[in-house]
Amino acid sequence: MSEADRSFTASIPPVAIVGAGFSGTMVALHLAETLPPGQQVLLCEAESFACGTAYGTGNPSHLLNVRAANMSAFADRPAHFAEWLETVRWECPEQIRATDAGEFASRGLFRRYLCSLLDRAEAGAPGRLQKIPAEIVDIARDGAGFVLRTAGGASHAASAVVLAIGNLPPPDGGHVLYRTNPWAPGVTKGLRQGLPVLIRGTGLTMVDLALDLRDGGFAGPVIALSRRGLLPHRHAPSRPWPTPELDDAERGSISLLLARLRWEAQRAEARGVGWRGVVDSLRPITADIWGRLSPAERGRFLRHVRPYWDIHRHRLSAPVADQVQAMLESGFLQVRRGRLAGAAFGHERVEALIQPHGAEDAETLTVQRVISATGVPSAAEAASPLVQALCGRGMARLDARAFGLDVTETLAVRDAAGQPIPGLWALGPIVRGVFWECVAVPDVRVQARRVADAVAADTRAAGPCAR
């Protein structure tokens, strides 16, 4: 390092990243390569590093819902994950499943991949990455930079902060027999045989829970309840379909958009490509479509279309879809249309009042536990101390529907007045209210690169003194 470099870097506080799931880990890896020599990266994580809600599962039945070929951590090296899989295949062939729609690995293996990337980055630049195993509960401005406060009361100065706080889990709460957080440890444990378990929701999280219950020895039945009773579709072979060139009217109206998609899907079916190619073709323009929809049209999407969109967009790998089919056929899993209208809790059982779809009368179902699996909650429901503190200070605001944080096109966090805060960034599922399609690896990896490049450029532009 030159003398000039040394004097430059010595005066720059580190860049802090809050959250070390996929998003935060990837930003850290990129920054480790692009920040000026000597400037540190603080990677702050409340739970496990390089893991997050998605990849913390220890159940090998939980497969990725994206093909291995699309799960590279790097957009510019699309085969990276698939190549890494080759190096571990001999150890755990049962965790890599070949299907007619491509290979699907277990989510635990993806975690191993992420950990290996983080380990390599740490080894490659000793001292550059500093892991802070703590929950960050507050961030305040400090001159041109920031100071982060941990739940334990420690403080860390930073020149810039990246919020990668991801899928905020629902708060644990309610009753011991009514679990509101489907990802909490032990949520499928401690059951006895004989009485059903009721799951609210029939999506991907319900499927994870049903597999956990089955693999944990529970004999069933598991009753999954949702208004429409829709299960996710399965991945199947499909070919790429050209991204439709939508006109302004289609971009502004959910009904016109749907009509166009149906038309595209019919054409794709007729040409042997199938509807999956059409759904996948929207990925590059989904954020733009979402960004241009009026609040009223977004509301229409959320009320009427979202459940259908979700089951077509977020699909099950074939091995998992086969297991769902088997669980349905054996009666272990029962899917019902309706809603939970109330619950009376006894010592070891719950009398769940179910309002079946289309029926006049509610019915009572006696179950031993209710687990809510209705998806990642909005930031308003999740009640993260950090988000509350940032919003309380006026350093952040929620997006219009309170899904998460409001950010600019370039991922800068907007303050209470809507102005971007220099040096404060956010990415991943926590900004899904702004982009919608930014929760899965193929989208998040692009955001991670963009944020890292912006932070590095900012640091260079700020020079030795600023921030």
Ligand X SMILES: Cc1cc2nc3c(=O)[nH]c(=O)nc-3n(C[C@H](O)[C@H](O)[C@H](O)COP(=O)(O)OP(=O)(O)OC[C@H]3O[C@@H](n4cnc5c(N)ncnc54)[C@H](O)[C@@H]3O)c2cc1C
> Could you tell me which stretch among 81-89, 164-172, 283-291, 366-374 binds ligand X (CB under 6 A)?
164-172
Least gap, CB of 418 to ligand X (angstroms):
23
- 22-51: contacts with ligand X (CB under 6 A): 22-24, 44-47, 51
Among 41, 209, 407, 440, binds ligand X (CB under 6 A): 440
Among 12, 16, 17, 19, binds ligand X (CB under 6 A): 19
Q: Does 169 sit behind a cis peptide bond, omega within 30 degrees of 0 on the bond before it? A: no
- Reading across the β-sheet that carries 369-372, which strands appear in turn? 178-179, 369-372, 197-200, 222-226, 333-345, 350-356, 363-367
**Cα separation, 261 vs 277, whole angstroms:** 11
Q: Cβ neighbours of residue 109 under 8 Å, at least 6 residues apart?
A: 85, 88, 92, 95, 96
Beta bridge partners of 226: 337
- 276-305: contacts with ligand X (CB under 6 A): none
Is residue 108 close enough to count as binding ligand X by CB under 6 A? no
Least gap, CB of 448 to ligand X (angstroms):
9
Least gap, CB of 444 to ligand X (angstroms):
6
Nearest to 112 by CA among 133, 91, 134: 91
Residues binding ligand X: what is the number (CB under 6 A)?
33
- Looking up tokens 């045989």, which residue turns up? 193
Binding mask 370-389 for ligand X (x = CB under 6 A): --------------x-x---
Beta bridge partners of 339: 355
**Cα separation, 136 vs 155, whole angstroms:** 9
**Cα separation, 441 vs 169, whole angstroms:** 19
Is residue 441 close enough to count as binding ligand X by CB under 6 A? yes
Considering beta carbons, is residue 24 or 338 the nearer one to ligand X? 24
Considering beta carbons, is residue 232 or 428 the nearer one to ligand X? 428
Least gap, CB of 101 to ligand X (angstroms):
14
CA end-to-end span of the chain, whole Å?
22
Nearest to 64 by CA among 81, 47, 83: 81
- Listing DSSP states for 365-387 in one string gives EEESEEEE-S-SPPHHHHT-HHH
Could you tell me what percentage of the chain is helix, strand and coil, using 3-state DSSP and rounding each to the nearest 5? 40, 20, 40
> Could you tell me which stretch among 35-43, 60-68, 261-269, 404-412 binds ligand X (CB under 6 A)?
60-68
Is residue 117 close enough to count as binding ligand X by CB under 6 A? no
- 412-431: contacts with ligand X (CB under 6 A): 428-429
Among 136, 210, 279, 282, binds ligand X (CB under 6 A): 136
Considering beta carbons, is residue 167 or 226 the nearer one to ligand X? 167
Instruction: Point out which residues bind ligand X (CB under 6 A).
Output: 18-24, 44-47, 51-54, 64-66, 107, 135-136, 164-167, 384, 386, 428-429, 439-441, 444
